[in-house]
Amino acid sequence: MIDKSERHSDKDPNSGMIVAPGGRIRADEDLRNSIIREVREESGLQLLNPEIRGTVLYDNRGRSFGDIDFKGDFFAYVFVADCYFGSLHKGTNEGVPKWIENRTIIERSYRECDKRLWRLVSDNNGKNFSAVMRHKGEMFDTMNSKVVLF
């Protein structure tokens, strides 16, 4: 996980949070290689066998976060891996990579949607999922969010 608790930015909705490494897919890479690159850049670890666990559509209609204006929805692929090499580096402008126990991640997650997502990744006996996460203002909208396990 990437600890952003000491890195505060008014432009980053994840500032002060614990987040998984991630980012955008470059034009010259496929989905699998993009997660390998992002994890390496943000943590120093080289994943050997990332597997897709699920997808999440963040429906940002009606979402607000202080002064940050969310410009539309975004789609995320969620990967897991159980084999890697290398060691954690000291951090980047993204935050500091740390090993954090599953229960601690849930306890330290400030947003309900992050807690729900982490439970999907860690508590479903390896089942894949597809989720839609919706918000009302700064609050997670549990009534209108959906999850399908398969």
20-32 per-position pLDDT tens digit: 898 889 999 999 9
> What pLDDT does residue 115 have?
83
Question: Could you tell me the two tokens for 3?
Answer: 């600890």
% of the chain at pLDDT higher than 90: 36
Q: Which CATH class is domain 2-149?
A: alpha beta
- Using DSSP's 3-state secondary structure scheme, residue 140 falls into strand
- Can you tell me the mean pLDDT for 46-50? 95
pTM of the model: 0.83
- Residue recorded with tokens 């496929």: 30
Helix (H) or strand (E) holding 121: helix 112-122
Work out the mean pLDDT of the chain and round it to a whole number: 84
Statement: residue 94 has pLDDT above 90: no
- Residue with the two structure tokens 């539309």: 72
- Beta bridge mates, 3: 18, 96
The length of the chain in residues reads 150
Q: Which residue has the tokens 């890479």?
A: 29
